Amino acid sequence: MIYIGLTGWGDHYSLYPNQTKGKDKLPEYSSHFPVVEVDASFYAVQPARNTLKWVKETPGNFRFVVKAYQGMTGHQRGDIPFVTKAEMFQAFKDSLKPFQDANKLAMVLFQFPPWFDCKKANVDYLRYCKQMMGDIPVALEFRHQSWFSDAYRDNTLSFMKQEGWIHSIADEPQAGDGSIPIVPVTTNGNMTLVRMHGRNVHGWNKPNGTDTNWREVRYLYKYNRKELLEWKNRIINLSKDTNDIIVLFNNNSGGDAAGNAKEFQKMLGIEYEGLSPRQLNLF
């Protein structure tokens, strides 16, 4: 099955009736899409009260892609409130339990930073992450071009297959070492992830200095029909080698993700059942 959704649910204003409060957005979001990426888990390991709330606010067949905590992927913005890596991984796994108990955890996404390049120490760390996560489904997304260079591409894909990683296939700007090409190859027979970041080449890499608006424009992009049709063909081909595909649109700096996701769903002729009832916007 093909699941189409968005990264996060807070900023997609075109989905929500006027004056929708933040606490009411996830139930409304789940009336449009059957899957979402949880980004809050990247910035902090989420308390059980949050994950329990999200589970209760969504229908039974809804699925969450949970982004791995920043300390687990080496981003480490600010202090990491854990003494050891083992403690950090355990706390993160504990936070997933409400999703797992409700059968709503699609996977955990490990997205590594642009400086995480292809070398033995990083390959060893990937093995460590997979071991620590146990039987929890995990997806892997790179941001350094070396993993898919001519020298390492085949070995990278073989490694992911052997270790049981789900391939997170990225559509993103081709902007030097800190970006990867589209590699439409499945590495897991059960599931494949596709993340649509847009193609804003000029906004992708962080500029020198302190440009506080960089993150607000990085994903400023609207996919055109031709680009979405190319992805339709890729998804059809990928579906021959994997049971489920999750496609997440992340191109929302200008509010385009929801519209592109709806357009892509229509292209594929998909009608989802079991979504939440939609609010009535009377005014």
Higher pLDDT, 95 or 178: 95
Does residue 39 carry a pLDDT above 70? yes
Q: Are 188 and 162 in contact (CB under 8 A)?
A: no
Phi, psi at residue 95, to the nearest 5°? -70, -20
Res 213: pLDDT? 67
Distance, C-alpha 144 to centroid of its chain: 17
Res 283: pLDDT? 42
- What distance in Å separates the CA atoms of residue 207 and residue 205, rounded to the nearest whole number? 6
Question: Average pLDDT for residues 246-261, to the nearest whole number?
Answer: 94
Higher pLDDT, 277 or 4: 4
Q: Are 187 and 161 in contact (CB under 8 A)?
A: yes
- Residue labelled with tokens 């191109």: 251
Band (281; pLDDT cuts 50, 70, 90): low
Q: Are 37 and 8 in contact (CB under 8 A)?
A: yes
Res 207: pLDDT? 65
Query: Element (H or E) spanning 36, and its range?
Result: strand 35-38
pLDDT in tens, 168-197: 999 999 878 888 999 999 999 999 999 999
Q: Which domains, ranges and CATH numbers included, belong to the chain?
A: 2-267 (3.20.20.410)
pLDDT in tens, 216-245: 677 789 999 999 999 999 999 999 999 999
- Residue labelled with tokens 């200008």: 254
Nearest by Cα to 104 from 25, 173, 147, 51: 51
CA-derived radius of gyration, the chain: 18
